[in-house]
Structure 1
Amino acid sequence: MERIHHLNPFAKRDSHSKNTVITYKVLTTITWLLSIVVSVYYTFHKPHDGVWFRRKIWGQNDAYLTAFRLNHIIASIYWIVLFVLQGGYIAHLFSGNVERVNSACSVGSHFIINNLFHFAFVMLFVRSYFGWAELFIILNFINLSSLYFRHPGYARFIHEPVVSGPLAWTFVAIYWNGAIMVPHPDSLVARIFGNIFIWSILVYGLFFIIVYKDYTMGFNLSVLSAAIGVSQFFRQVIAFQWIFAFIIMAILLVATIVVAVPVATGRDTKIARVQGDTERAPLLGEN
């Protein structure tokens, strides 16, 4: 068992060897840049490899009038901020502070997998292979959920860019891509199901806010709900979907503020314990 734990790249460790740190520096940087390059390139260009129904990322989004179509401006800003924050996380791998380096390495394997899955998703999505794209989204959702629940005590510089930011996007992307994937995505039946499933965003966000006091998940999901709401409003003013999206956004935003303000002002000193672990809850860690 000791050997298996040593070989498992996802195992939690308090320290890492010099070679392991170098490996994480190289792989996290390369896969992060790969994720950025494909995202930026296919934002402005469509594939030119002979595949039918190939479009730019937001061309695919706009081509299907689904109940989860996103406003590309809000969603793009979300990703720009996320990529910048991820750059800050990678910088900690090169820090002279051993504790910060070890903390950054501890989530490195999940981050690398996230980048590779995101790369695969984009490559498939722009080529209209929505079924395969959905598979990679779901696999990444499992990867990021495992990271969240197995390592719930990391500081902000890790938690937002590596855990909550990608996880919130992946949860919404399951519906975004899934709505495109189903037959007749703009039908009345699809809209009704969209009116129902959109509330899962609220339930999912409140779970993290209430159980983990994770205001970053609440804020991230409120931004993505706003992206849905704005897009649905301009699609059809007389409709439930944009109203539901803005209600969800408002509730999550208020809940986020209620949790974030006490933490930011130091009035909330409650320490979360997970199976006897002495680490602090995700948003109570030191920067």
Structure 2
Amino acid sequence: MERLHHHKVLTTVTWLLSIIISIYYTFEKPHDGVWPRRKIWHQNDKFHTAFRLNSIIASIYWIVLFVLQGGYIAHLFSGTVEHVNAACSVGSHFIVNNLFHFAFVMLFVRSYFGWAELFIILNFFNLSSLYFRHPGYARFIHTPVVSGPLAWTFIAIYWNGAIMVPHPDTLVARIFGNIFIWSILVYGLFFIVVYKDYTMGFNLSVLSAAIGVSQFLRQVVAFQWIFAFVIMAVLFVATLVVAVPAATGRDIKFARARAGDTERAPLLGEN
């Protein structure tokens, strides 16, 4: 019981820390450090990279994600033992995700982009490990703790990485951006086809839209926003192909967790 209590406290505290630091640096810039200090979205707008995001869409994504994570945390305090055990089974990864996100924001707003990239990559491995070890968590766990943060982290690797590169607005940088953006489509289709995970497809389609809108508003005559919207459309359609049958109970069905196996409350049906 004492271990469970500590787990609840750490999960809740790190989640609140992640929210507070994100909100604070959305509206305030840091007042310490030697490098240029800017608010989160001022950093985004300062650098005209091929992966610059639309702040409104990205902010909505994070607001929804934080709300869903609040629902996940509520299950830690549930009176149903199965829900508590299932929520606890991913708790260590979720705590690490929150701490890495905190470190990333603190470094990003202070223009330590190299160190920020390191924490993004470490978090990518943390969340990927969680996903591939147990890809079938229940929806109340999978979306806010696994697929939502993982989709963002994948995009953030390019977002922050493009800022980190010297002269990110050169022709060469734009060409590489035109190439690497297609990895979003490959990554998303991998989860849709292999795991029938429509949540990853939807999350990546939203973030692709954030890239597309930002690139379009910056330069109408350009390939990047066209590519981003094509990727968004393909992922969204592929998401519907999987999600609609699942929602209607046809073809893909959600399975129930096996008794005694609290770590596998499946999101996706077993073939």
TM over 0.5: yes
SS of the residue corresponding to residue 167 of structure 2 reads coil
Q: Is 1:126 the counterpart of 2:109 in the alignment?
A: yes
Question: Residue type of the partner of 2:106?
Answer: M
- Aligned residues of 1:159 and 1:282 also touching (Cα < 8 A): yes
- Aligned-residue offset at 1:268: 2.2
Q: How far apart are the structure 2 equivalents of 1:50 and 1:85? A: 34
- Aligned residues of 1:130 and 1:181 also touching (Cα < 8 A): yes
- Aligned-residue offset at 1:270: 5.6
Q: Any unmatched runs of 5+ in structure 1?
A: 1-17
Over the matched positions of the two proteins, sequence identity in percent amounts to 84
Q: How far apart are the structure 2 equivalents of 1:50 and 1:88? A: 36
1:170-181 mapped onto 2 (5 Å cutoff): 170-181=153-164
Q: What is aligned with 1:226?
A: 209
Q: How far apart are the structure 2 equivalents of 1:136 and 1:73? A: 24
Q: What is aligned with 1:83?
A: 66
- Aligned residues of 2:138 and 2:264 also touching (Cα < 8 A): no
TM-score (norm. length: structure 2): 0.94
Alignment counterpart, residue 244 of structure 2, candidates 257, 261, 264: 261
SS of the residue corresponding to residue 47 of structure 1 reads coil
Question: Residue type of the partner of 2:215?
Answer: Q
Flag as ranges the 4+ runs of structure 1 deviating above 4 A.
269-272, 277-281
Question: Residue type of the partner of 1:282?
Answer: L
TM-score (norm. length: structure 1): 0.89
Q: Any unmatched runs of 5+ in structure 2?
A: 256-260
- Aligned-residue offset at 1:24: 1.3
Alignment counterpart, residue 61 of structure 1, candidates 39, 44, 50: 44
Q: How far apart are the structure 1 equivalents of 2:31 and 2:129? A: 36
Alignment counterpart, residue 250 of structure 1, candidates 230, 233, 251: 233
Q: How far apart are the structure 1 equivalents of 2:139 and 2:66? A: 15
Alignment counterpart, residue 99 of structure 2, candidates 93, 106, 116: 116
Q: What is aligned with 1:8?
A: none
Q: Is 1:136 the counterpart of 2:119 in the alignment?
A: yes
SS of the residue corresponding to residue 168 of structure 2 reads coil
- Aligned residues of 1:25 and 1:93 also touching (Cα < 8 A): yes
Alignment counterpart, residue 282 of structure 1, candidates 259, 262, 267: 267
Alignment counterpart, residue 35 of structure 1, candidates 18, 23, 26: 18
- Aligned-residue offset at 1:193: 0.2
Q: What is aligned with 1:147?
A: 130
- Aligned-residue offset at 1:151: 1.3
SS of the residue corresponding to residue 282 of structure 1 reads coil
Question: Residue type of the partner of 1:219?
Answer: F
Q: What is aligned with 1:9?
A: none
Per-residue displacement from partner, 1:43-95 (whole Å, max 9, x unpaired)?
00000014331000000000000000000000000000000000000000000
Q: Is 1:162 the counterpart of 2:145 in the alignment?
A: yes
Q: What is aligned with 1:236?
A: 219
Q: How far apart are the structure 1 equivalents of 2:13 and 2:69? A: 13
